[in-house]
Structure 1
């Protein structure tokens, strides 16, 4: 954990999306003390393409090898990774070449974090289809990062909007398979990870609210017994580990409790149960956190936005929030979005 301003690696993201445009907007808006502790990991041509779209110029000290990185040099550093010529891709489309560039730059950032060179990573949006075309070989970037870091315990994506956290028990799985995957042990693991992740983010005693699976929390078993047989016992078991956790609550009102400050984090049973609610509360400012890893990693929650690529209309707010979140996590303090 960094006591002062941590040294953060910023990764270019998918070059066919809005990442190249967001990058100079993010860098220009940083405070001077933040600029002095930033390493951009990108092909310089991708950054230049983003500057051309945004109309911004961002002075950077160009580096061509890892050995030249200096966390205390006093200016933005660009580690030039010659992995992609923007002239060879079509903006707003899924590209295997862009996916390969993502894996190369993100992989380098992870290796730098593993070596202790950077204290945290903030990446501009990736495109999962592009990464699969590039041969990622696993479900998503979280699973890939987990393997590259040698993590064998549970890891999961969290979404954060203005201090409201959302965690998941299951993530990128078909909805028809969710009920069959829920076990007491899996839900307890998710609760424990949520507690650990929020503590790492500066919450001394995180308050966690667990969602039901069925409408009306099953109505006492009339419309589903997962709450009785699985979710409630998991909540009780997790509470024995001195975790402040309650539920299951009907999911149609659960997020109002988090919004109103009764809880810090909601734990959803499946992906869209939480994503729909949390994105409605602030789509243009949301942050995704890769939880359960030894290094804090964040990204804007909104994705690559192919439909607005090249229009210079991408809102940098979520990227700025993602950067400030990873800084706060590297320092072990809580952060609410500006």
Structure 2
């Protein structure tokens, strides 16, 4: 019997008013490789049934109160301890939906810490709804990192072999320059290199590092962070055996990424790295968090309240998130 048969992938339900349940249900019907694992949707069974009926998705998903009572022969199930009956308001922002999103994440963290869950795939949440419900995190990445005790982590999106990690994540642009430090960049490069080698099985991953300023500072004329912070951080990383290069002008670097020789990129801020990544692979890109003790992936988009309930949500990115989680689990 394959060792992967004993591994569990948890899918947190996300915002029940958005497209998270829809893309989850659709993806489960399109990902046959998951039959080698146990897949648990964490969230209210009533919400799952609502979306199954609304979208007319016929999928066997028995309810369980704990992973220990997994049904014989079941590939997927709904893990619902409390049997809540949430008020679903399709396409609307609500603190009640934020509470359910946060509870699902907290339960996934608890199960992962207990060694009962080996990968977490997070459906989209509304950050605003999470905040309204009292979960004050910039995003799911930071929520999971704190709960799982990961002091050093890196948000990385990938589409095919194009992988972009971020030095800073969900920060207002005006705060980015002050947040960039030599220590931060070195820590990001360490966790990125470690996960690329141990989980992605890349023998010596080459990582390109962008500058912060236009034209990588133009020799100090457009800012000196490249000279005073980023270049010294790259050199320190290289001294530690990390194959980092740069700093490069981001526009030129990403403009020719198909011809580059790098396995991954480290961008200084959110839009600098994710605009080129999503232009290349939007709808099929996957968000991966490096540095966590368990595998975590998610789709590359949000709750899409504007199309929730219309049956229009494309599940491709969720399919890829599940596939990547399964691939990494099978190879580790």
TM-score, with length taken from structure 1? 0.91
Does 1:163 pair with 2:161? yes
CA RMSD of aligned residues (A): 2.0
Question: Partner of 2:79 in structure 1?
Answer: 79
Q: CA deviation at 1:184?
A: 1.4
Q: Distance in 1 between matches of 2:36 and 2:132?
A: 34
Distance change (3 Å), C-alpha of 1:104 and 1:240: same
Question: Partner of 1:243 in structure 2?
Answer: 242
Question: Partner of 2:90 in structure 1?
Answer: 91
Gaps of at least 5 residues in structure 2 are none
Distance change (3 Å), C-alpha of 1:264 and 1:32: closer
Does 1:321 pair with 2:320? yes
Given the alignment, which residue of 157, 173, 176 partners 1:175? 173
Q: Does the 8 Å contact 2:29/2:59 carry over to 1?
A: yes
Distance change (3 Å), C-alpha of 1:83 and 1:234: farther
Q: Distance in 2 between matches of 1:261 and 1:52?
A: 47
Q: Distance in 2 between matches of 1:277 and 1:262?
A: 17
Question: Partner of 1:273 in structure 2?
Answer: 272
Q: CA deviation at 1:54?
A: 2.6
Q: Does the 8 Å contact 1:127/1:304 carry over to 2?
A: yes
Q: Does the 8 Å contact 1:44/1:81 carry over to 2?
A: no
Render the CA deviation track for 1:264-295: whole Å, top value 9, x for unaligned.
11111111111111111111111111221100
Q: Distance in 2 between matches of 1:41 and 1:132?
A: 20
Q: Distance in 1 between matches of 2:54 and 2:253?
A: 41
Distance change (3 Å), C-alpha of 1:271 and 1:84: farther
Does 1:222 pair with 2:221? yes
SS at match of 1:172: coil
Aligned length in residues: 329
Q: CA deviation at 1:116?
A: 1.4
Gaps of at least 5 residues in structure 1 are 334-338
Q: Distance in 2 between matches of 1:50 and 1:204?
A: 43
Distance change (3 Å), C-alpha of 1:128 and 1:310: same
Render the CA deviation track for 1:127-170: whole Å, top value 9, x for unaligned.
1111111111333222222222233x212321111221111111
Question: Partner of 2:39 in structure 1?
Answer: 38
TM-score, with length taken from structure 2? 0.92
Q: Distance in 2 between matches of 1:84 and 1:37?
A: 23
Question: Partner of 1:139 in structure 2?
Answer: 138
Question: Partner of 2:23 in structure 1?
Answer: 22
